[in-house]
Amino acid sequence: MMWGRAMTDQSKTVTRVDLCEAVYQKVGLSRTESSAFVELVLKEITDCLEKGETVKLSSFGSFMVRKKGQRIGRNPKTGTEVPISPRRVMVFKPSAILKQRINGQHRANGDASKAQPEA
């Protein structure tokens, strides 16, 4: 199997422009208003994360900032040990609903986890 190849053929990178166009097409705002709306949402998420707050979007997932302490890493080329400074990293945890949808288990009438096994 060629996992990498199959995934590349099916994947597309969605950009800010694509998001703005989707808002324009589906919501009916002007292109300028759609762009401003998308930028406002992204800025609000960014501002919250910058302050260390968790951003939880129901049925989608949560964005959180975690602190990583200082540790010793290794340069893969030379094998030399190098100190890695403490830092903050952003983590995304998808919701169970999103996980089900990306795995083709989306159910129109409710949660797939409540499905009864067939006899």
Q: What is the pLDDT of residues 33-75, one digit of tens each?
A: 999 999 999 999 999 999 999 999 999 999 999 999 999 999 9
Q: Give residue 118's pLDDT.
A: 46
The separation between CA 85 and the C-alpha centre of its own chain, rounded to angstroms, equals 25
Nearest CA to 70 among 92, 86, 94, 90? 86
Give the sheet arrangement for strand 61-68, strand by strand.
Answer: 55-57, 61-68, 87-94
Tell me the average pLDDT across 18-28: 95
Quick count: other Cβ atoms within 10 Å of Cβ 59?
A: 9
Whole-prediction pTM: 0.70
Angle at 58 between CA 55 and CA 63, to 5 degrees: 25
What is the percent of the chain where pLDDT is above 70? 80
Strand ranges inside the chain, DSSP E: 55-57, 61-68, 71-74, 81-84, 87-94
Q: Give residue 96's pLDDT.
A: 95
C-alpha 90/C-alpha 46 separation (Å) is 10
